[in-house]
Amino acid sequence: MRTLTTLCAAVVLATVTIGTTGCTDAPDGGTTPSAIAARPTASASPGLPEHLAILHRPFAATDAFPESEVAASTLEEVVPNSQRRAGERDGTTYWVAAASNGGACLIALDVDQDSPDDYGMCGGTHVPAAEVLVTMDGDDGHRVSLVSDGYTDRGPTALHEVVPNVWGN
């Protein structure tokens, strides 16, 4: 269920254009406007979660996500430009983002525009090491969880890595 498909393509194209031209700090210690748009700001968050290394890598053009009706409600909690694309599996792309309250968010978007499997969820007020942070059930009955760095699981009902920091059954 996407309402801004044309706009999404324009946003992705603009992001790719900015990403390929490069963004650097200005000689006077400031930043160019496009560099500001590609980084979370200190004033927008108490800090990026410590135990999610994915959030500490530089923003890339592939980290931008298209706007969708379902993800828009989650975006209210996401620190602007903190999202990082964790990967894609079986037609669903996963992003990890910092939440404005110090927690973390998991956003999942299905490439099928009619799919009900677009969802996002934020949780917690901090991110401990090696723990499940957020769990969501998809319409297909599969569960996915956002986990912090160092997470492991064992046993017959154990979660398994889907993409970095995203585990499922």
Read off the pLDDT band of 145 (50, 70, 90): very high
Number of H helices, E strands in the chain: 3, 8
> Is 59 within 8 Å of 84 (Cβ atoms)?
yes
11 DSSP 8-state letter: H
Closest CA relative to residue 53, chosen from 101, 109, 98: 98
In 3-state terms, what secondary structure has residue 135? strand
pLDDT of residue 67: 64
Which helix (H) or strand (E) is 60 found in, with range?
Answer: none
Read off the pLDDT band of 169 (50, 70, 90): confident
Closest CA relative to residue 80, chosen from 61, 94, 59, 57: 59
Read off the pLDDT band of 47 (50, 70, 90): low
Q: What is the pTM of this model?
A: 0.69
pLDDT over threshold 60, residue 140: yes
Q: How many domains, the chain? A: 1
> Is 81 within 8 Å of 98 (Cβ atoms)?
no
pLDDT over threshold 80, residue 28: no
d(Cα 112, Cα 102) in Å, to the nearest integer?
32
Read off the pLDDT band of 131 (50, 70, 90): very high
d(Cα 149, Cα 161) in Å, to the nearest integer?
12
Q: How far is CA 155 from CA 47, 78, 148, 152, in A?
A: 35, 33, 19, 11
- Higher pLDDT, residue 101 or 19: 101
Q: Which domain holds residue 32?
A: 5-168
**Alpha helices per DSSP H over the chain:** 5-21, 33-37, 69-75
Closest CA relative to residue 79, chosen from 53, 97, 64, 65: 97
